[in-house]
Amino acid sequence: MKKQRIALLGAALATAVALAACGSAGGGAATAGASADPNAVVQVGSLYEPQNLDNTAGGGQGITEAFNGNVYEGLFRLTDDGKVEPLLAAAHTVSPDGLVYTFTLRDGVTFHSGKQLTSADVKYSIEKVLAPDSKSARKSSFPEIKQIATPDPKTVTITLATRSISFVYNLSYVWIVNDQAGNLQAKEDGTGPYKLDSWKRGSSLSLTKSPSYWGTPATNGGVVFHYFTDGSALDNALLTNAVDVVTSEQNPDALAQFTDNPAYKVNDGKSTTKLLLAFNDRVAPFNDVKVRKAVSAAIDDKKLLQSIWGDHGTLIGSMVPPSDPWHTDLTGVNAYNVDEARKLLADAGHAGGFSFTLDTPNYDPHPTVAAFVKSELAKVGITVNINVITPDQWYTKVYQNKDFTATLQEHVNDRDVVWYGDPSFYWGYDNPQVTDWIKQAEQASSEADQTELLKKADRQIAEDAASDWLYLYPQIVVASTKLSGYPVNGLNSQFFAYGISKG
């Protein structure tokens, strides 16, 4: 009983906290087998059922997984290995001051409804993301847009108020939809290689090949996403061939039955999901950098990761995962060192220790992690009071009201180190130098400058122990060996299905 409930709530929170993502995939996995059947339907098993079919209306990570790149396409695509490449934009130019972007649309693209893609659709789609009632989590990542002009049906000109080096990257999260389609919460009208066949809520979502697709058609006959609330039920479905692939294995105990079985392949992809012990940097005792460093040094992250995921997962020293362009290995900063932790605590005037409340989400792995943190910190005299809360309480208490001392939370997105440049974010890290670097990075004129500045910011937050980054989750795709060509990295939760072959 308990386990089922936890899985349910986990899925619910994942949709609430995940910055609804888009774009990526393609590359990665192996090439098709010789015996692949072009009409075979790929059965995909997932724990993330969409809330609805619109990513600007709170569809959640599930709809990104099912639709991004499969049903809808953007001007650009974020590939499975993290590169941004043109998709519906055939070409683009940027003015020397970095403020005016001109995009030329690809020829011969039609929506599933048959309508031709025009610049008006692009304008409509971007405005849909930025609209006041938009629930797109990417909304706040966009720079201020002064004007979107459509001089002719093939051309879109966007004028920004400030430079934004991430603008093109962020556009890969914008689905281009038909401007005449109306409400898209229960239907779709995209340009992708698949169109929606049916959606049985609580159960499955089927996609069939779009006959009018402008690009290379899918290498399979269609995809069915099967939704589960229980990880073991999902694993059983894979074991009985009811599904061919699991998009994100969340059950560490289940891995052995696939690793030792020649009928399955366990893929360790690149992950962007970080587990944080997030301090409230505004309030005592965590407004003191020494205390934060002491706590970081007192917890053996390696032992924690090993106990939860065995040989999977990666240690991180800061918010930047290895797949982000500005990654530096910072695991040596505030590394595990109990003596150092004690010394820092004494310096901070807490030689006798102190106690604090840790707001712990009630689903896996947080309760286990909280217990581990409690026992580690007890060794340096710190008492942890574990306060278990629901995802909804977390959102209200911690995220909105900032009424907490420390909390555990997973942060799923790539390139999200920039939150440390926002002093009003829930963890309240406020270093004007870092804020400035991150702001400058966004307005940088080259990616090299951007990378340079974000590296500086990243090192500074690590040295300030702005949060304690416990580990990077593994990103595990388990698939039948009959399958090839599937994405393994699942950047920002997408799952590009069009390259999958089933033998």
Partner 1 sequence: MTRYLVRRAALLVGTLFLASIVLFVLLRLLPGDPANALLSVGATPDQVAAARHQIGTDRPLPAQFGHWLSQLATLHFGTSFVSSLPVGPEIVSRLAVTVPLTLAAFVLAVVVAVPVGFVAAHRSHTWYGGLVGVVSQLGIAVPAFWLGLLLVWLFALRLRVLPAGGFPPAGWSAFGDALTALVLPVVTVAVVMAASLIRYVRSATLDVLGSDHIRTARALGSSFVGAMWRHGVRNAAVPVVSVLGIELATTFLGAVVIESVFALPGLGSLLVRGIAQHDYPVIQGVLFVSTFAVLVVGFLADVAQRLIDPRLRGAVARR
Interaction site with partner 1 (CB under 8 A): 1, 4-5, 7-9, 12, 15-20, 51-52, 57-58, 132-135, 137, 139-141, 183, 185-186, 198, 200-204, 206, 224, 226-230, 232-234, 236-237, 239-240, 242, 390-393, 395-396, 399-400
The tokens for 195 are 């169109």
Least CB distance from residue 242 to partner 1, whole Å? 6
Least CB distance from residue 413 to partner 1, whole Å? 9
Residue 497 identity: A
**Residue with Cβ nearer partner 1 (97 or 260):** 260
**Residue with Cβ nearer partner 1 (24 or 206):** 206
Q: Is 90 exposed, middle or buried (0-12, 13-18, 19+ CB in 10 A)?
A: middle
Least CB distance from residue 140 to partner 1, whole Å? 4
**Residue with Cβ nearer partner 1 (98 or 367):** 367
**Residue with Cβ nearer partner 1 (90 or 130):** 130
Q: C-alpha distances in angstroms, 246 versus 193, 211, 226, 402, 479?
A: 21, 27, 10, 36, 6
Q: Count other Cβ atoms within 10 Å, centred on residue 129.
A: 20
Least CB distance from residue 256 to partner 1, whole Å? 14
* Three-state SS sequence of 156-173: EEEEECCCCCCHHHHHCC
Strand partners, 269: 475
Q: Find the angle CA(496)-CA(500)-CA(502) to the nearest 5 degrees.
A: 150
**Residue with Cβ nearer partner 1 (97 or 133):** 133
* Three-state SS sequence of 36-60: CCCCCEEEEEECCCCCCCCCCCCCH
SS3 (DSSP) at 135: coil
The candidate with the shortest Cα–Cα distance to 147, out of 138, 137, 156, 155, is: 156
**Residue with Cβ nearer partner 1 (135 or 343):** 135
304 in Cβ contact with 318 (< 8 Å): no
The tokens for 500 are 């999958």
The tokens for 253 are 């105990």
Peptide bond just before 285 cis, omega within 30 deg: yes
Task: Give the list of residues 6+ apart from residue 230 with CB closer than 8 angstroms, or none.
Answer: 3, 4, 7
Least CB distance from residue 43 to partner 1, whole Å? 10
Distance CA 74, CA 171 (A): 7
**Residue with Cβ nearer partner 1 (203 or 433):** 203
Least CB distance from residue 357 to partner 1, whole Å? 17
**Residue with Cβ nearer partner 1 (110 or 362):** 362
The tokens for 340 are 């150092």
**Residue with Cβ nearer partner 1 (92 or 139):** 139
Least CB distance from residue 396 to partner 1, whole Å? 6
Q: Is the dihedral of CA 212, 217, 218, 220 positive or negative?
A: positive
Q: Is the dihedral of CA 124, 126, 127, 128 positive or negative?
A: positive
Task: Give the list of residues 6+ apart from residue 336 with CB closer than 8 angstroms, or none.
Answer: 297, 298, 299, 300, 301, 302
Least CB distance from residue 269 to partner 1, whole Å? 23
Least CB distance from residue 419 to partner 1, whole Å? 8
**Residue with Cβ nearer partner 1 (17 or 156):** 17
SS3 (DSSP) at 89: strand
Range list of β-strands (E), 204-293: 204-209, 222-227, 245-246, 264-269, 274-279
Pairing of strands 245-246, 483-484: unpaired
Least CB distance from residue 208 to partner 1, whole Å? 12
The candidate with the shortest Cα–Cα distance to 357, out of 384, 379, 380, is: 384
Least CB distance from residue 239 to partner 1, whole Å? 6
**Residue with Cβ nearer partner 1 (29 or 478):** 478
**Residue with Cβ nearer partner 1 (20 or 165):** 20
Q: Find the angle CA(109)-CA(179)-CA(62) to the nearest 5 degrees.
A: 85
Least CB distance from residue 186 to partner 1, whole Å? 5
